[in-house]
Chains A and B, each alone.
Chain A
Amino acid sequence: MANKAIAASAARAAPRPASGVSAFFLKHEWARGYTLLSPTLGVMIIAMCVPVFMLTAHSFWTQNYLTIDKTFTFANYVQFWEKEIYFKLLVKSIKISAIVTFTTVVLAYPMAYFMAFKVKKNKLVWLILITVPFWTSFLLRVFAWKIILGFNGVINSGLISLGLIQEPLEFLLYNPTAVIITLAHAWAAFVILPIYVSLEKIDRSLLEAATDLGDGPVSRFLRVTLPLSMPGVIAACLFVFIPTVGDYVTPKLVGGTEGIMIGNIIQSQFGKANNWPLGSALSIYMVFGITLCVLGFLLVARLITKGGSLKAS
């Protein structure tokens, strides 16, 4: 019976004409894979690689009032070093992002730990609860903080109506701290999942082994759990650090003049200042800055984890 079916299907499948093209596809798995992938890859190349290449090209051109002078020049790159504000803003943006990254990761770790090790029932509910906010509007989350921290905002008016203060606190809004708080909140959901996944993946028998061999909860955490969750922590850091350096929405809404970041300057070059080539060069510097920091961070992370594993062994 089974043999018959196989024979029948073989008979149906076999006489398929193998012309040049289809024979080629039948023979080469990679050809089928690439064909299937080509539309997606094509779109990504046209909508991402080509524009980024043109951005780079623009950074070597100059703005001539309304037209763009396409003679190759390093003028924009030189200009970056002539006014020290650009470099200062880049460093400041990186600092703000680094603080935000550190804060979010430190705050998220216990939460991820709780979900991975302590939640027994309704794990999906917890997962959905922390996943939902990161799909919702970034603009609205930033906007919410403008309302909360504002001069007549939630905190000030709340404290006044409670009789705790007489005058609104002025230091809440329009400074780098407001930017840091807002970003730390807006990106909070992005750091839990990578850390959670890496904690969830840890082989529980390793923890039992550590306990059996006499480690207390604290040293077991430091010697087993923490090092094994480092990939998740590193991924979380990158997820937050890289996009926040270039943020212009948060500084614009809650940062004021003091909280301005490199993203605002770049954005203004494509808006009011209307100097696209300079804006392009600034964004290239920003990407370089981010890349350097990320490489440095990965290097340090690698040294630390290596040192840790040596000590453990």
Chain B
Amino acid sequence: MSIVASKAAKSAAHVHVPSSIMEGRPYGGLFFYAVFYLSFIYIPVLFLPLFSFNDSIYIAFPLKGFTTKWYGEMAASNGLIEALKNSLKVGTAVCIISTIFGVLAAKAMTRYRFPAKGPITGLIMLPFVVPGIILGIALLILTYSMGMELSLFTIAVSHVLLAVPFSMLVLISRMEGFDKNLEEASLDLGEGPWRTFWQVTFPLTLPGIVASLLLCFSVSFDEFILAFFLSGNEATLPIYIWSQLRFPSKLPSVLALGACIFVFSCVLVTFSEWLRRRGVQVKTASSV
């Protein structure tokens, strides 16, 4: 998906729209449609935080009163703390590993010409479109065939698979964004490829790397479909939520947890998007 996201970021920064085409009032019917559409996207999810503060075990109107006790109950649950730790562990490992793979692939894709580039890119992008259930059961079969146990490790492997394409795309758009001559200049002036990478490429790519770390972390942190097949005894947060959905009495504290996760992901993603797009703007400014 972030192919488009990064492309979108780019075109937003570059395309200058002639004003003659911008016919029509800015607050015409389409504007109201856009507001309606955004509400359609956001409002259903906002019911999670709304009812997480409602002083009733039932998720129903009318609202009974304000309480934070569900958050207290949530924080007191041992299973949840364990799941949170597991999610943080997996997410951290996944974001670092995927970003390293992403940097390598993006550098190869943007700096070298070689045959079969298109098909190879397509292969790396495949996890975008292959239904999650296929990847999940395929990895489950592989795990058992190798005589391995299901664990956080197997979850992490599946998340790396999902995160690498995102990371590669974010980094490709970043690496295409700065002047390649800077690297060539460094090489021409006698620096080796290793020092050139650390002194030129790495600092210039840094906003993209941070964005990739954050996005890969949130991909792993929110992922359920693959983790469902690949989790052993240790659950990640989405798996924990799934296991709690069976108990109606736990629902309010699950809502509280959901609200926390939602806010956390939003902050993470907004920050990384801002970082990435800010990077693009800086680039256009400096190239002018």
Q: Which residues of A are in contact with B by a Cβ distance under 8 Å?
A: 5, 9, 12-13, 29-30, 32-34, 36-37, 39-41, 43-44, 47-52, 54-55, 58, 107-108, 110-111, 113-115, 117-118, 120, 123-124, 126-141, 143-145, 147-148, 150, 152-154, 156-158, 160-161, 185, 188-190, 193-194, 196-197, 200-201, 204-205, 207-208, 217, 235, 238-239, 242-243, 245-249, 253, 263, 266-267, 270, 276, 279-280, 283, 286-287, 290
**How does the 8 Å CB contact mask read for B134-177 relative to A, with 1 for contact and 0 for none?**
11011111100100000000000110110010001000000000
Is B65 interfacial (CB-CB < 8 Å)? no
Q: A126: which B residues are within 8 A, CB to CB? A: 34
Partner pick for B31 among A114, A249, A276, CB 8 A cutoff: A114
Q: A189: which B residues are within 8 A, CB to CB? A: 41
**How does the 8 Å CB contact mask read for B32-51 relative to A, with 1 for contact and 0 for none?**
01100110111011011001
Stretch at the interface among B71-79, B88-96, B120-128, B202-210: B120-128
Q: B33: which A residues are within 8 A, CB to CB? A: 110-111, 114
Give Cα A120–Cα B30 distance, bound, in whole angstroms.
14
Q: Which residues of B are in contact with A by a Cβ distance under 8 Å?
A: 1, 4-5, 7-9, 11-12, 15, 17-18, 20-24, 26, 28, 30-31, 33-34, 37-38, 40-42, 44-45, 47-48, 51, 58-62, 101-102, 104-105, 107-109, 111-115, 120, 123-124, 126-135, 137-142, 145, 157-158, 160-161, 164, 168, 188-190, 215, 218-219, 222, 224-225, 228-229, 238, 241-242, 245, 254-255, 258, 261-262, 265-266, 268-270, 273-274, 277
Give Cα A204–Cα B60 distance, bound, in whole angstroms.
50
Give Cα A248–Cα B11 distance, bound, in whole angstroms.
36
Q: B228: which A residues are within 8 A, CB to CB? A: 249
Contact B133 A143 (CB under 8 A): no
Q: B107: which A residues are within 8 A, CB to CB? A: 36
Q: B189: which A residues are within 8 A, CB to CB? A: 5, 9
Q: B141: which A residues are within 8 A, CB to CB? A: 51, 54-55, 58, 276, 280
Q: A249: which B residues are within 8 A, CB to CB? A: 224-225, 228
Q: B137: which A residues are within 8 A, CB to CB? A: 55, 266, 270, 276, 279-280, 283
B36 nearest CB neighbor, chain A only: A111
Partner pick for B59 among A41, A138, A147, A242, CB 8 A cutoff: A147
